[in-house]
Each structure stands twice: as C-alpha cells, then as structure tokens.
Amino acid sequence: MTARLPKVSVCIPAFNHARYIGRALESALSQTMDNIEVLVVDDASTDETFEVAGRYAASDGRVRLYRSEANLGMVRNWNRCLRDARGTYVKLLCSDDFLEPACLETQAKVLDDLGGVAVVSCARRLVEEDGAETGVASYAETFVVRPGKDVINDCFHRVGNLIGEPCAVLFRREAAGRGFHTAYRQLTDLEMWFHLLERGDFAHVPDALCGFRRHPGQQTRASAANLAFADDEFRLFEEYSGKEYITLSLWQKQGVRYNKALLVWNRRFQEGGEEAALKKISEHYPLALFRLITLGKRLFGA
C-alpha cells in the first residue's frame, strides 16, 4: 500500500537556534490540519539545535530530520529543504519563527479553492527576542486576491515588506522547482515571491497566522550589518524595474535608486562607518549625484 503524501510540507531550515526551534516545531505539530510533514534540515549547527529537533523527531513520525555534514549557508539550506519536501504545498518556517494553529489549514484552503493563486500570505505578528509582541504587519486589512504582477508593482511603489517573510507565505511546490536564487543573501524570499507571482495570482489572508521573530542572531541581520543587503536591493530592482508591467516613470525609478542608496547611508553607524557606506553606495549609484541630492534635501528641507 502506497503511503499517502502530505498536503503541506513545513520546511524548517535550522542553524544555531536551539533556543527557538522547539517553539517552531511545536507550532507546526499543533496545526489543525492533519496531513502534513515537518522537515527539519540542520545546517551543521554548533549548538544543541540538532539534539532539540531530534527529541521531536523521536516522538512524532511527522518529523523528518536531516543534518548537513558541512555548513551550506542559508540559501543552499533552503534549497535542500525544497528538494526533500514531498507536499503539494510548502511552508518555509525559519527555526526562530512560529505558526498559529489554523495557519496551514486556512492558507491551504485558499490554494485548493483558487487554482490561479501562486502565493498566499497572511498577516504576521512581529515578535522580539524575548517574545514580546511589538505589532502586526499585513498587506491589507481584508481578504485580497490580485494579479501577481500587480503585487510586484506595488512592492516598488510602497515601502516595506508587503508580501511577508517565509513564515507568512504558502506556495505550490511544483511552481518553485527553480529553487531560491543563490545570488541573493538578504532578499532571497522576496525574489522567490516575485518569481512565483510572475506566473500566478496573489492572495492575502488578513488574520495574523504566524509570528516573525526579530533578534541579533538572525542570519539576515549579518547581511544588514555589513551592508551586503544593498547588493540585493539594487539587484532585485534592476532585474524587475524594466518589466512591462512596472508602472514607475523614469523619474520615479531614479527616486527609488536614490532611496536605496540612502538606506545604505543611514546604516553608516554600523559596521565600517561612513567610509564603508560610501564605498557600498558607489558600487551601485553615482556617488557625486548622491551627495548632490542629499545636500539639496538638507538645504531645502525636501
């Protein structure tokens, strides 16, 4: 008798998150949806992450646990999760985040009912290192279905992460066969959402069905601290801003590029200081023009 394949694969890529992974696993295993698998891929952690996950795998047959012999890095580890997932739908749950009990059932129903939807997101609770909730982020206050390309366009007209972090998104495994783009380090998830949304619609559930934790140990925090995030910001913009469905004018495009350079400048008090920030800006934007526009804004209060 052939074993029934899971409807949803909850993929938990893990690295040195022994403090948090228990909460992530418990939230995945407490879902109101039964037909799931929980796939944990430990990226050669040096703390007790693998041992903590092992206790859950030993007591619940829905958990499959793997450990890489050498550290793959975040994106390659995410892709290993995708490669080993067996579900029709995939939820990438970072090991420091968590799901509310109805998350998978609610989002899977949207994909079941609306065959043209490629990505379904939900509102997410913003949680600090100590578990304190500081707010809720959401694409909209009501249930929304929109063409995927319109949502990509929105992301260039509005500020912030509109679609959501991995814990907020459920997508179809078949559509993600390309894998996460290995050239990205900070906007890896957003680039994948764009890739999927070029091929289908976007749906948003306004309920806060997951929690996104912000803390110093996040792998993406390192990219932000050393300004590597700027490479992704400019790369993603250049790859998509020329698409026929992007409605930015030439002046608006220049404004977006300047604002991305300004993001880097505003991080000058972190690693490397002003010299590092200016060097990073110069890799993507004319430094003389950046200084001229910034001076003008100061003088005229723009």
Amino acid of residue 104: L
Please count the helices (runs of H) and the strands (runs of E) in the chain. Answer: 11, 10
What is the token pair recorded at 44? 């050669």
Question: Using alpha carbons only, what angle is made at residue 34 by residues 86 and 93, rounded to the nearest 5 degrees?
Answer: 55
Which percentage of the chain shows pLDDT scores above 70? 94
What is the token pair recorded at 147? 């063409």
Cβ burial, residue 237 (10 Å; 0-12/13-18/19+): buried
The pLDDT of residue 99: 98
The pLDDT of residue 215: 65
Segments in the chain below pLDDT 50: 1
The pLDDT of residue 1: 45
CB–CB of 119/169 below 8 Å? yes
**Residue spans per domain, the chain:** 8-215, 222-300
pTM of this prediction? 0.92
The pLDDT of residue 301: 65
The pLDDT of residue 129: 83
Amino acid of residue 245: Y
How many C-beta atoms lie closer than 10 Å to residue 2's C-beta?
4
Contacts for 73-76: CB closer than 8 Å, 24+ residues apart? 73/43, 74/13, 74/15, 74/43, 74/185, 74/188, 74/219, 74/220, 75/180, 75/181, 75/182, 75/184, 75/185, 75/188, 76/182
CATH architecture of residue range(s) 8-215: Alpha-Beta Complex (3.90)
